[in-house]
Amino acid sequence: MDSNIMKEKIIHKGAEATLYYGSWFDKEVIFKYRIPKKYRIEELDKTIRNDRTLNEARALIRVKDYGLNVPQVYEIDTKNSIIVMKYIEGEKLRNALESLDNSRKEEIFKEIGRYIAILHMNGHIHGDITTSNIILTKNHKIFFIDFGLHEYSDSIEDKSVDLHLLKRILISTHGKDFNMCFNAFLRGYHQEYCKEATEECRQIIKNIDVIETRGRYVKKEERL
């Protein structure tokens, strides 16, 4: 490898990738390396790593157009499933949330809601909206990361599922802030979405409840 490119240390071992902090020419970067997962067969593993790497890199580049803060992509190595992207200095929302005061929490979630609405209105599904996939920077910017499960879709169902995932992570991980944060999120989402399509927005939000009563316990006589 080029001596201008260096992986310095592992900063995270996730379900999909191992993330290294390092340098790429004169830039501070993250190497998101989708390492082979030996629990699954090679054919499947290769396809998944390849697809997700390409998918994520493309999404990061596209969604920038809508004014979203996402890390800039510097290099894509599809052969080894590596994305080199800008290092975002800041704190994961997951860890930052507790120490923020309530008005700031509401402000942040309203803003997140606005951005997710913009994505959805343009047919982008994030695919894994969690508080681990949002970074807050020192100068109060909100960065969205982890677009590996990103999809293109205009369907109400896919958009509702996206919101449902956030709702559940807030319940399970930030239980006592759930109501305040999710309501603020929905306010921001609604406000933005309604600039274009009020009825569709209403349906997306309503459909979250429908998703919740599914899957749970499918009555056996209703099974296939």
Partner 1 sequence: MDSHKKICLGIESTAHTFGVGVLDFEGNVYSLVNDIFTPKEGGLHPVLVKEHHLNNFMITIKNALSKANCSIKDISLIAFSDSPGLGQVLKIGALIARMLSQILKIPIIGVNHCIAHIEIGRLMCNIEDPLTLYVSGGNTIVSAFESARYQIFGETLDLSIGNMLDSFARDAGLAHPGGPKIEKLAQKSNNYLELPYIVKGMDLSFSGLYTAAKRLIESEQYGKNYNLSDVAYSVQETCFAMLTEVTERALAHTEKKEVLLTGGVAANKRLQKMIEYICKEHNARFEVVPLKYAGDNGAMIGWTGILRYKMEGGQKLSDTFIKPKERMDQITVPWRD
Query: Who's near 23: CB < 8 A, 6+ residues apart?
Result: 4, 5, 6, 8, 29
Binding status of residue 128 toward partner 1 by CB under 8 A: yes
Residue number, 12 or 202, with CB nearest to Mg ion: 12
Binders of ligand ATP among 150-189, rule CB under 6 A? none
Q: Determine the residue type at 98.
A: E
Task: Please give the Cα distance from 224 to 221 (Å, whole number).
Answer: 8
Instruction: Show the tokens assigned to 179.
Output: 């109501």
Closer Cβ to partner 1, 24 or 93, answer by number: 93
Between 34 and 114, CB nearer to ligand ATP: 34
Tokens of 205: 């939000």
Cβ of 182: how many Cβ atoms within 10 Å? 19
For residues 216 and 224, give the distance between their C-alpha atoms in angstroms, rounded to a whole number: 15
Region near partner 1 per CB under 8 A, out of 12-20, 64-72, 116-124, 190-198: 12-20
Only segment of 15-23, 114-122, 158-166, 200-208 that touches ligand ATP (CB under 6 A) = 15-23
* Among 20, 24, 32, 59, interactor with ligand ATP by CB under 6 A: 32
- Binding part of the chain for partner 1, among 10-18, 64-72, 134-142, 195-203 by CB under 8 A, reads 10-18
**Number of Cβ within a 10 Å radius of residue 76:** 18
| CA 34 – CA 80 distance, rounded (Å) | 8
Question: Does residue 179 belong to the site contacting partner 1 (CB under 8 A)?
Answer: no
Residue 149 near partner 1 by CB under 8 A:
yes
Q: Angle at CA 120, nearest 5°, toward 117 and 49?
A: 125
Is 128 a catalytic site residue?
A: yes
Positions in 60-89 near partner 1 (CB under 8 A): none
Closest residue to Mg ion using C-beta atoms: 146
Q: Which residues bind Mg ion (CB under 5 A)?
A: 133, 146
